[in-house]
Amino acid sequence: MKAFLGSMTGRVFITLLLGMVISAALTQLAADYERLRQFEQQRDQHLLERAEQLVMATEIVPASARMVYLSVANRPGLRLELGTPHPLAGTPTWFARSLAARLGQGYSITSAASRPPSCELPNRQPVLYGLINAQWRGACEMLNVRLRDGAEMRLSVLPPRPSTAGLETDYRTVIALFLLSIGALAYAVARMTTRPLKQLAQAAQDLGQDINRAPLDLTGASEIRQASAAFNAMQARIRQYIFQRTQMLAAITHDLQTPLTRMRLRLEKVSEAELQERLIGDLSAMQQMVREGLELARSMDTTETMQMLDLDSLLEAVCADAVDAGQQVDLNGRAGMALLGRPLDLRRCLGNLIDNAVKYGREARVNVDRINGAARVRIRDSGPGIPQAEMKRVFDPFYRVETSRSRESGGTGLGLTIARNIAEQHGGSIALANHPEGGLEVTLMLPEYYPNK
């Protein structure tokens, strides 16, 4: 869940969901308030008509029978009764003025200063599916009424009785369906919006493993098409740059072979044996550096075709070749998984790691297993190890730890660099650690291939 909320899809989904829910809630709230005000106005008009009819009907009833009539005629919301006038209010209300205009001359309608006790009680009406209650603001007052025959009466305009709709109606199903529909719409929009970005991010990730991957399709919105076109152009430039650099190094290597060979032939004529040995050693180091420089350039080139590989078989073949070459290599364990990779590159990666272990630690103990859906290959030697401060620097090209590994052992300092480049192109990683029992342990992690991805 945390990963989803941290993703672009999750953030867009939450933003859209909250935005739509808040907008819908505000719209519903405004509509309910408007409906409530319309109901207040309609009820006031209805009470005004009822008050007119009640006053005029009471007038034609004999005075002796008016109390009995009113006990039957009074209904909730409007009550007319005999009684002395209450003190007058300063200004007549809208209801008082409207009733006086309807009744005409001969009637006296005035607003009393006091109000019926029920007007002071809280009277709230449910809105927004009963989640919020709004205060009733319709007519609620007391009027002094004097009929044409001089009879004094009091007219009480009362608020509606408390609504029980919120208790009788269960809005939970309505709200749940509303939220589900809004959530589904928000998720669909979020997926549609972020899918091109995910495809672009996946293409950028795949680019590190295969520089020759097919270009992105220029589909979708104009901004996405523009970004995809820029990505394709960048991929083409990187591919051209790597090709030119590899070609340049190959040409340099080829061109250097002839003068280096002539130098070796001429060194054979040096009469002093010690000087001859030193010069031939330096020349051999130069030739090895040129060859490994070319290997470094090729390790960043991904022209080799990706294939399905059995890691266990590949490891057995590499270790067998090392044993045939006279190296002390021991292989234990099995990964039991398939990899999608480049055979020659992976052989070069594993070969470099085993060569380093044998060269600097006399032996290579290779252990392979499977952990968290990835293959783990651990190669341990019996050498002096590497100081902790030098762990990261050993991956730099041409860097060697002189305090722990002698230059006399040979090498140019490119083996680990080449191995790391190949591992990263296959979505893996290489880590170094000094083993508690002595020696350096190199851990190579390679992810498993899932066909359904």
**pLDDT by residue (tens digit) across 132-162?**
777 778 889 999 999 998 999 999 999 887 6
Give the containing element (helix H, strand E) for 288.
helix 273-299
Instruction: Quote the DSSP letter at residue 408.
Output: G
| pLDDT value for 452 | 46
Is 208-303 CATH 1.10.10? no
Distances (CA, A) of 265 to 142, 260, 276, 277, 394: 127, 9, 11, 13, 35
**pLDDT per residue over 267-291, tens digit each?**
777 778 788 788 887 777 777 777 7
pLDDT at 406 over 50: no
User: What pairs with residue 211 in β-bridges?
Assistant: none
pLDDT band at 405 (very low <50, low <70, confident <90, very high): very low
Tell me whether domains 208-303 and 305-447 share a fold: no
Is 69 within 8 Å of 58 (Cβ atoms)? yes
Report the interhelical angle of 343-361 vs 311-324 (nearest 10°): 50
**pLDDT per residue over 56-110, tens digit each?**
999 999 988 999 999 999 988 899 999 888 888 888 999 999 999 999 988 999 9
Q: How far apart are CA 104 and CA 56, in angstroms?
A: 11
| Backbone Cα Rg of the chain | 46
Helix ranges, 300-370 (H): 311-324, 343-361
Q: In this structure, which topology does domain 305-447 adopt according to CATH?
A: Heat Shock Protein 90 (3.30.565)
Amino acid at 68: V
* DSSP-assigned letters across all residues of 11-60: HHHHHHHHHHHHHHHHHHHHHHHHHHHHHHHHHHHHHHHHHHHHHHHHHH
| pLDDT value for 402 | 55
> Class of 22-166 per CATH?
alpha beta
**pLDDT per residue over 339-352, tens digit each?**
888 888 899 899 98
Domain ranges of the chain: 22-166, 208-303, 305-447
Q: How far apart are CA 95 and CA 78, in angstroms?
A: 12
Helix ranges, 146-272 (H): 165-168, 172-207, 222-267
